[in-house]
Chains A and B, each alone.
Chain A
Amino acid sequence: MPLVKIPKPKFLVKLRRFFMADLLQGLRLTLKYNIGAITDKDAVAGKGIYTEQYPKVRPDVAPRFHGAPRLNMDPETHDTLCIACNLCAIACPEDCIDVLAMDVEIIVAGKPRKKKVLDEFIFDTSRCMFCALCQEACPTSCLELTQDFELATYSRAGFVWNREMLEQGRETVKYTR
């Protein structure tokens, strides 16, 4: 009694085995890939070579990709667009945003008034899951998740971004070779 039942091969299967059709099929497939890679033509779908040469050639990320956060500024005056409304901090499911506001005395129509302006903005990227709910919540489209994906740092503290980093962007070493 054999432990493993092997079905009796049909005539067509026998014929395929005799002419080693599977071997030839495999050889054809690898040759197709090889020629496709040399001519950079599509072997099955897409392009010939799938490898990205990352530091040398930077990949194009998808339009819906969410990466490093940024605080946008008014392009003319270079003042921050943030009105310190705290909506982003409320929207954040991970609670990783801290908006610290301060009051400034200003004169409106001859009377002294207090205005709430942004003092410091803390964004903890180590806890962020890049859901972009903060971006949706922002009424002035100030906070935005950009397409920049190089977020690694050498220390845990480096993941906490302050207002300056959010506005200017973080300095990273760009490898080109």
Chain B
Amino acid sequence: MLLFAPIDFINQLLLKFFSAGTINYVIWPFIQVGLVVTIVAGWVAYATYLERKISAFMQARLGPMRVGPWGLLQPIADGIKLLTKEDFIPEKADRWIFFFAPYIAVAAAFITFAVIPFGPDWAVITDINIGLLFVLAVSSVGVLALILAGWSSNSKYSLLGALRSSAQMISYEVAMGLSLVGALMFARTLSLSGVVSAQQDDSVWFFVYQPLGFLIFLVSGIAENNRAPFDLPEAESELVAGFHTEYSGFRWSLFFMAEYAAMVIVSAVAVTVYLGGWYFPFVYRYTEANGYHNLYVIVSLIVFVSKLLAILYLYFWLRWTLPRFRYDQLMDIGWKWLIPSALINIVISALAIFVVQALNGWHGIKSIDALSPGLNLTPIGKAVMIVMGLAGLGLTGLLLARINWRSRDFNLKSQRRNIRLVNVPRGKPAVAPVAGEG
């Protein structure tokens, strides 16, 4: 392959100066990390462009058109503007925390890219066996940055925004983590590359087995990133700009960067766990099996990126379709719908696996191929899984709709009237004040 000759050439050149261990564990990772950080930073810049364009198209507008052809240089103009803007720190702000909060946000967002499998072989920076835990743990550090930013700004809007976002992110983190458990039962590993190879061995994407889990993960992922319709922390009409009200210039752009990078991470995890990651049918057969190893990696990368872009388009799509939720509705969805359904999903997945294992060998039915890395099923087993998954989705929806029916008509005013004591005249407090007080 002529295209990949430079890579081999660089490898040969490096071998003259360093040992093979140094090259494999120090130099190549550095190159990978540099590439990923550069690409993600570029993505963040162009995601703003993409978002503005898509929102414009959805509203029959044109979007940015004046800077460069089709406004393609707009992100660069924005970047220059942000960098040359005054970096203002309020007088009463807690200077050091105010100074460091954006860096924590960006670091938390970017560190997670270390474990995302962008493709097979050299397209993954590191494959640690607790990959998914690592992603969940590090991405929740982002909440800390928001709280610090909101607190140190010493402004009521910032503080309220930070409180809202931290409450929201913590409550949706639960549903997000629980929804992944079902998929992990099929993958039988926490390593993200392992999850992808489990789907490759099974030649099925896990969202087929786990429709409920996939839906929960998508919704809670959007809420986790504070994106519309869950962008309560940045509700312009109420909180100005939420936790970054007092930020300007470069530090503000860092928060923006963290938000878009976090979006990529959640979509990457969704793609890896539920949409098969870099696995696509027939790619292996026509490339790797014929000896074109690097082509295999490149095609897999393209597959991964296109799946990622599809999920990211969903983000933009939902953002420009749905209005913002009220705060009580947000908590309602999180605690009354997503967390119970995530728990039900775990039970149903376990039940499905139990059924498939029990079926195996009963009346000569064979449902499990092998248990080696993941759970390899025969067509019968797959059919059972899919039926169970869809049935679980419907049953959970019905059950929760039955339980939560009243909460749809939630009306604070009527509740307050009901709480009021019957014979107390209007205008008097419902509970009589304690004598001698005040």
Contacts and interface: CB of A to CB of B under 8 A. Distances in A.
Interface in A59-97: none
Interface residues of A, number: 24
A17 B56 CA distance: 29
A23 interface: yes
B58 interface: yes
Interface stretch (B258-266, B315-323, B342-350): B315-323
B411 A6 contact: yes
Contact of A49 (B60, B321, B409, B413): B60
A33 B401 contact: no
B85 interface: no
Contact of A38 (B57, B61, B401): B57
A112 interface: no
Contact of A17 (B57, B61, B318, B408): B408
Given A2-B411, A3-B414, A36 B317 contact: no
A2 B417 contact: yes
Interface string A17-39: 11000010011011101101110
A3 B420 CA distance: 13
B57 A4 contact: no
A1 interface: yes
A50 interface: yes
A33 B59 contact: yes
Contacts of A37: 56-58, 60
Nearest to A24: B321
A1 B417 contact: yes
B321 A51 contact: no
B304 to A, nearest CB: 24
A51 B414 contact: no
B409 A6 contact: yes
A163 B350 CA distance: 90
Contact of B60 (A6, A31, A43, A53): A43
Interface of A is mostly: helix
A30 B409 CA distance: 27
A111 B321 CA distance: 84
Contact of B320 (A30, A36, A48, A49): A30
Contacts of A6: 409, 411
B65 interface: yes
Contacts of A2: 411, 413-414, 417-418
Interface in B52-79: 54, 56-62, 65
A22 B230 CA distance: 18
B151 to A, nearest CB: 36
B397 interface: yes
Contacts of B59: 33
B401 A18 contact: yes
A40 to B, nearest CB: 10
Contacts of A34: 54, 57-58, 317
Contacts of A50: 60-61
Closest 3 CB pairs of A and B: A2-B414, A37-B57, A51-B62
Interface of A: 1-4, 6, 17-18, 23, 26-27, 29-31, 33-34, 36-38, 43, 48-51, 53
18 contacts: A1-B417, A2-B418, A3-B413, A4-B413, A6-B411, A18-B397, A23-B321, A26-B322, A27-B318, A30-B58, A30-B320, A31-B317, A33-B59, A33-B60, A34-B58, A37-B57, A49-B62, A53-B65
Given A6-B409, A34-B317, A51-B62, 11 more contacts: A18-B397, A18-B401, A23-B321, A27-B321, A30-B317, A30-B320, A30-B321, A33-B57, A33-B59, A36-B60, A49-B60
